[in-house]
Amino acid sequence: MTEPSRKKIGVEVSIAVSEAVKQCDVDVVSAYPITPQTHIVEHLAELVAQGELDAEFVPVESEHSAMSVCAGSVAAGARTFTSTASQGLALMAEIVYCVSAMRLPIVMVVANRSLSSPLSIWNDHSDAMMVRDSGWIQVFVENGQESYDHIFWCFRVAEDEKSLHPVMLNMDGFILTHTIEPIEYWEDEMVKKYLPPFQPKFRLHPEHPLTMGAFGPPEIFTECKKAQDQALIATMPVIEKAWEEMEKICGRKYSAVETYRAEDAKTLLVTMGSFSETARVAIDEMRETGEEIGLVSLRLWRPFPFEKFRNAVKNAENLIVIDRAMVFGGPGGPVASEIRSALYSGKKRPRIVNFIAGLAGRDVQPDDFYQMVQHAKTKIKDGTEDEYEIYGVRE
């Protein structure tokens, strides 16, 4: 294993992400400012203006235009990056669906923020869940170091000729984007070793015309969607290999599903994003009081890691799934619904209790996880575990 660099720099996570994008030597950045992702593209604009990054920075009038520019640039063979959040992602959603169907390997950071209304600039996962079925590879990170490392991973996975898919990096707005953390930067030689130059399999060129995203009549549309689904599922080996090779480069190990003190746990918390670190603190405290509890952290959201998740929870009696988004009029949060579906056909299924917490940045402390665990015990005893609950609602 390559010995990682040990130098750490205290830096705002958004700036670290921008520096990673620079180290990837992108060709085009197109974005529109929206809180809380603005610092990412502001810093990239500075790097381009100062000559530190040889790229085209395209300021546009909306997020819809930003993703449209990205689609054109990557289709022409340029390594391309963008970033957005919340209502910006909602506005660009039309093109978000287009680029995945056309297999255009754009990398986008989503600084997760709640969707309006009421207006909020604070963090939850409602924006990511809005585009859950858009056909992008989607990952969630827990801290600043993971955010920085995964920029390299995103380009590596997106541009691999066995993948050729856009990749969405979800990082919690403000909780991560505006926090200063110690970040261990990669040396440029490490990046070059890990991330090869972008060699597009198909490229728009006036001398070699081709068509992307043409009209699909009913006679072929279903087959196109089946092929798209199969192609996304087939990215899993590329995803896993990219994490394995990242460990060899920087010494940090990542996986689609990660566990903490889960081997002997009867009850498992299930989380995504920065909640996972807070949950670990709560688990350590509960373990000291004799609670048989652990954590399953979902890093890969799409394609969903069915086999790894089922293996991670196979010995658990209870799962407490913490969602950070609503499904209005539905059976609970989107992650809990997904997990119920994933485990439905199993011979032995754990009981699943679903809490929705932390909407629009409402603070969730270690004691809140403890309270949810105690409440879950009551719900299981009463036989009401199938009824989801929004945690902390004031009467």
DSSP state, residue 259 = E
166-209 confidence digits (pLDDT tens): 999 999 999 999 999 999 999 999 999 999 999 998 899 999 99
Asked if residue 344 belongs to a domain, the reply is yes
Average pLDDT of the residues in 13-37 = 98
Q: Is 4 a residue whose pLDDT tops 70?
A: no
| The total number of residues written for the chain in this structure | 395
Q: Based on the domain organization, do 191 and 278 belong to the same domain?
A: no
One domain, residues 237 and 368: no
Tokens representing 22 are 């620079």
Are 163 and 30 part of one and the same domain? Answer: yes
* Token pair listed for 104: 């255009």
Local structure of 344: helix, strand or coil = coil
CA distance 20 to 194: 13
Q: What is the pLDDT of residues 314-364, one digit of tens each?
A: 999 999 999 999 999 999 999 999 999 999 987 789 999 999 999 999 999
Phi and psi angles of residue 32, each rounded to the nearest 5 degrees, phi first:
-125, 135
Q: Are residues 199 and 266 in the same domain?
A: no
Q: What is the per-residue pLDDT for 96?
A: 98
How large is the average pLDDT for residues 256-285? Answer: 97
Would you state the pLDDT for residue 201?
87
Distance in Å from the first CA to the final CA of the chain: 55
Q: What are the C-alpha distances in Å from 287 to residues 107, 340, 370, 380?
A: 39, 26, 11, 20
Residues 203 and 273 in one domain: no
Instruction: Establish if 342 belongs to a structural domain.
Output: yes
Cβ neighbors of 374 (< 8 A, separation 6 or more) are: none
CB within 8 Å of 377: residues ≥ 6 apart: none
Confidence of residue 91 (pLDDT cuts 50, 70, 90): very high
Domain limits for position 303: 257-390
Q: What percent of the chain has pLDDT over 70?
A: 98
How many alpha carbons fall within 13 Å on the CB side of residue 243? 15
Domain end residue (candidates: 250, 267, 289)? 250
Both 158 and 302 in one domain: the answer is no
- Identify whether residues 223 and 361 lie together within a single domain: no
Residue 115 lies in a domain: yes
- Output the CA angle 166-172-176, nearest 5 degrees: 115
148's CB contacts (< 8 A; 6+ apart) are: 13, 16, 17, 19, 20, 183, 185
Domain boundary among 250, 267, 292: 250
**What would the pLDDT profile of 44-78 be if each residue is shown by its tens digit?**
999 999 999 999 999 999 999 999 999 999 999 99
Q: Where are the alpha helices (DSSP H) in the chain?
A: 13-23, 38-49, 63-75, 86-101, 126-130, 144-159, 188-194, 218-233, 236-250, 275-288, 306-312, 334-343, 366-382
CATH code of residue 82: 3.40.50.970
* pLDDT on residue 2: 47
Is a pLDDT exceeding 70 seen at residue 3? no
Q: Exposure string (b/e) for 101-136, b if CB count within 10 Å is 16 or more? A: bbbbbbbbbbbbbbbeeeebbbbbbbbbbbbbebbb
Do 88 and 232 fall into the same domain? yes
Residue 5 has pLDDT above 80, yes or no: no
Query: Are 92 and 236 found together in one domain?
Result: yes
Count the neighbouring beta carbons within 10 Å of the beta carbon of residue 205.
Answer: 11
Q: What is the CATH number of the domain that holds 309?
A: 3.40.50.920
Last residue of a domain, one of 199, 223, 250: 250
- Residue 242: the pLDDT is 98
| Structural domain contains residue 1 | no
For range 279-304, the mean pLDDT = 98
Give strand pairing partners of 81. 29, 107
Tell me if 79 sits within 8 A of 27, measured CB to CB. Answer: yes
Please say if the pLDDT value at position 276 is more than 70: yes
Q: What is the Cα 353 distance to its own chain's centre?
A: 23
Instruction: Give the predicted TM-score (pTM) of the model.
Output: 0.97
AA letter at 278: T
Same domain, 217 and 264: no
Q: Is 160 a residue whose pLDDT tops 80?
A: yes
Pair of tokens at residue 342: 């994933």
Classify residue 104: in a domain, yes or no.
yes
pLDDT tens per residue across span 114-132 = 999 999 999 999 999 999 9
Q: Are 380 and 323 in contact (CB under 8 A)?
A: no
- What are 257's two structure tokens? 């599903």
The total of structural domains in the chain comes to 2
Chain centroid, CA 192 distance in Å: 24
Do 118 and 197 lie in one domain? The reply is yes
The 10s digit of each residue's pLDDT in 239-256 is 999 999 999 999 999 999
209 located within any domain: yes
Residue 2 counted as domain residue: no
Angle between helices 144-159 and 236-250 (to 10 degrees): 130
Q: Is 289 found in the same domain as 152?
A: no
